[in-house]
Structure 1
Amino acid sequence: MNRRKFFRQAGTAGIGAVAATALAAPALAQQSPKITWRMTSSFTKNTDTLFAACTDIAESVKEASDGNFTIHTFAAGEVVPGLQAADAVANGTVEMAHTCSYYYIGKDPTFALGTAIPFGLNARMTNSWFSVGGGNELLNEFLSGYNLYALPAGNTGAQMGGWFRKEINTIEDLKGLKMRIAGLAGQIMQKVGVTPQQIAGGDVYAALEKGTIDATEFVGPYDDQKLGFVKVAKYYYYPAWWEGGPAVHAFFNLEKFKALPLSYQRMLKDACANANANMLARYDARNAKALRQLVSEGAVLKSFNQQILDVSYKAAQETYAEISAKNPAFKKIYDSQQAFKKEAYLWNQIAEYTYDTFMMIQQRNGTL
């Protein structure tokens, strides 16, 4: 081989490699731009399991982007009040929020279906419906009219039925009670005689202590213990038939989400999925210990009786029929959930229910 020709060709190739490297750097920079967002929460830092989803998302995105995509997190009240989080996203005050869709049923009752409705899906069904049952696509079709896009970013599992200052033995005992309760559950409770109140989580204790309300629901033992409800209302009821598996969402400004590089959109989707799984795992791990502690502090555990459940279930079905008759968006999503739920319970009663029932008997017998 001609040595001069070889080195001349090698030199030319080297120049090409340098040029390719020089071109690659700006191209990569365009794909991973420096972006800073703000995320407001509907929850206070004291409700740490709920608020942790914000930090989970922010940390995941920061790590995945090598620090190029930064999300600053704010608790309820630091930027806007907790119940105005989605509004702040829609109008561009912040880029995203961590909140519950059903806080906004004043705009349209369809928002309730994004979180939970009475006698609706349990936690596993909720996650399945959103992920593979078409639920997230249906919700976002609705939300697009509000310049919003949402991804599931948390689930508490079945909640407790709340704290009451007096015993509830019959449906008559509910009549006239002022209760903090969110979503469509408030409308259904109103049908059975309750006066619903929508109060942000951070303000509930004071309202209960002052007697502004007679009862409250929030989440479950872990949060309820931290909020101190046992000090002002000792009767602790279960289950929350209005929240069998409520989803918490990350809401994004639709235009700003679409403007992100696809890699950043994927980071957000993965980060939200991680936060979604983490929240349910944390509640499952923490609630049992907190329930024991609440009982030791004086909480009196009571179950809603069959009469209350039956009357409430009938009121719920009437409510859904009334809304569906005049709200096509609600009907479309509600019908999807109902069809999914029927199939899911057909399967769950065969495997999950029979297995769990047997194991619960072992736990009660002390043979686990």
Structure 2
Amino acid sequence: MRKLLGRTAFAAVSLAFATEAMATEWNVSLWGKRRAFTEHVEKLAELVSEKTNGEFTLNISYGGLSKNTENLDGIAIGAFEMAQFCAGYHRDKNPSITVLELPFLGVTSLEQEIALSKAVYQHPATQEDLARWDATLLMPSPLPQYNLVGVGDAPTTLADFEGLSVRATGGIGAAMETIGAVPTSMSATEVRQAMDSGIVKAVSFAPHAHMSFGTIENGKWWTTNLNPGTVNCPVVVNTPALESLPEAHREALLGSVDEALAYYVDYYNNQTMAAWGPALEERGIEQVTFSDEEIAAFKEAAAAPAAAAWIEENTARGLPAQELYDLVTGMIAGES
């Protein structure tokens, strides 16, 4: 009996160790709070857990692991296994993907933004660029065109932006500069305080972020059709962590990306955008629409010079910048 109990106990311990060995937990660094911008990561965690019967879990943290501007650094040192960041937070660290932030590219849907991002992410030069940080690009966080919420007198023409301090990162900031605005780059979590204190008079965001970070709580006006561009905010994983995953767990992760993105698009289009109009109306925010002629002039002033400068700067870095730009613009032209 003692031998039988001994073998039973040994088997139980062995099973416990085996179960523990099969379990995988990853830490995921996001910021702010759960919102449309993070729904694909939340969905991915749900799908991965389902497909692995709970053996692979993604522990999502909203700001508890790192500052949003330092998430790529955290990935590089293996402080956590997955993170989201925005290219414009540190353009020098990820110059290849900033091609997707150039102003007035003409992207018209979240689905198109996903296709463009995937194409750029799969380019060898982009993968080599992110490999410097031990980062593998997993999926984009597609966002619609940005517009401004501001305080003070609403601009009625583009000339009214002269001297206006605006929170705008990446290519959007460069575009705003061409019409005389003074762009300031700051992370999303710093925006409300900067707006309340008068450091910036207007903020460039996608609709979900205007709601999530409170700019519409004291904003007086909103530009409906400035549409200078968007930002690119990928979700990345630590490459050694990805490579060390058991095959079934890796398949569960990579095989869930498209479903997570489809869920995100549906959520953004049908929930976030449905709430946006009423949120503006409830607060009496004035909606400012510019003429076709002014938008055309804005595009002419901003688009070509920004693209030329980006190509020159990043060719000097050793990137195939013209090739990346042609990849993006060629895909957009092919769909238009």
Say yes or no: TM over 0.5: yes
* 1:71 CA displacement: 1.5
Contact kept, 8 Å, 1:98 with 1:250, in 2: the verdict is yes
Distance in 1, Cα, partners of 2:247 & 2:153: 54
Aligned pairs for 1:280-319 within 5 A: 280-286=265-271, 287-305=273-291, 306-319=293-306
Distance in 1, Cα, partners of 2:156 & 2:92: 31
Query: TM-score, length-normalised on structure 2?
Result: 0.82
Q: Tell me the matched-pair count.
A: 311
Contact kept, 8 Å, 1:191 with 1:315, in 2: the verdict is yes
Contact kept, 8 Å, 2:135 with 2:236, in 1: the verdict is yes
Aligned to 1:83, which of 57, 65, 69? 69
Cα 1:124–1:58, aligned 2, differ >3 Å: closer, same or farther?
A: closer
- Give the match for residue 176 of structure 1: 163
- Give the match for residue 5 of structure 1: none
Distance in 2, Cα, partners of 1:128 & 1:327: 22
Contact kept, 8 Å, 1:181 with 1:196, in 2: the verdict is yes
Alignment of 1:101 with 2:87, yes or no, is yes
- Give the match for residue 32 of structure 2: 44
Alignment of 1:264 with 2:249, yes or no, is yes
- Give the match for residue 320 of structure 1: 307
- Give the match for residue 111 of structure 1: 97
- Give the match for residue 23 of structure 2: 34
Q: What percent of counterpart residues are identical?
A: 20
Contact kept, 8 Å, 2:151 with 2:219, in 1: the verdict is yes
Aligned pairs for 1:171-210 within 5 A: 171-210=158-197
Structure number, greater radius of gyration: 1
Cα 1:226–1:323, aligned 2, differ >3 Å: closer, same or farther?
A: closer
* 1:226 CA displacement: 4.4
- Give the match for residue 333 of structure 1: 324
Aligned to 1:163, which of 146, 150, 153? 150
Q: Deviations over 1:297-349 (max 9, x none)?
A: 1111112333254234432211211221242323332110011111111xxxx
Aligned residue identity for 1:288: A
Cα 1:313–1:142, aligned 2, differ >3 Å: closer, same or farther?
A: farther
Distance in 1, Cα, partners of 2:93 & 2:328: 21
Cα 1:113–1:282, aligned 2, differ >3 Å: closer, same or farther?
A: same
Query: TM-score, length-normalised on structure 1?
Result: 0.76
* 1:168 CA displacement: 1.8
Alignment of 1:249 with 2:240, yes or no, is no
Distance in 1, Cα, partners of 2:156 & 2:52: 55
**C-alpha root-mean-square deviation of aligned residues, in Å?**
2.7
Cα 1:313–1:277, aligned 2, differ >3 Å: closer, same or farther?
A: farther
Alignment of 1:238 with 2:224, yes or no, is yes
Distance in 1, Cα, partners of 2:138 & 2:49: 18
Distance in 2, Cα, partners of 1:251 & 1:240: 30
Distance in 2, Cα, partners of 1:291 & 1:318: 34
- Give unmatched runs, 5+ long, in structure 2: 1-10
- Give the match for residue 53 of structure 1: 40
Distance in 1, Cα, partners of 2:173 & 2:76: 25
- Give the match for residue 5 of structure 2: none
* 1:109 CA displacement: 3.7
Q: Deviations over 1:226-258 (max 9, x none)?
A: 4432332211002352336x5542111122222
Distance in 1, Cα, partners of 2:253 & 2:159: 48
Q: Deviations over 1:195-253 (max 9, x none)?
A: 21222222211211111101002211x44234432332211002352336x55421111
* 1:63 CA displacement: 1.5
SS in 2 for 1:304: coil
- Give the match for residue 130 of structure 2: 143
Aligned residue identity for 1:218: F
- Give the match for residue 65 of structure 1: 52
Contact kept, 8 Å, 2:89 with 2:186, in 1: the verdict is no
SS in 1 for 2:22: coil
SS in 1 for 2:280: helix
- Give unmatched runs, 5+ long, in structure 1: 1-21, 346-368
Contact kept, 8 Å, 2:192 with 2:215, in 1: the verdict is yes
Aligned residue identity for 1:338: T
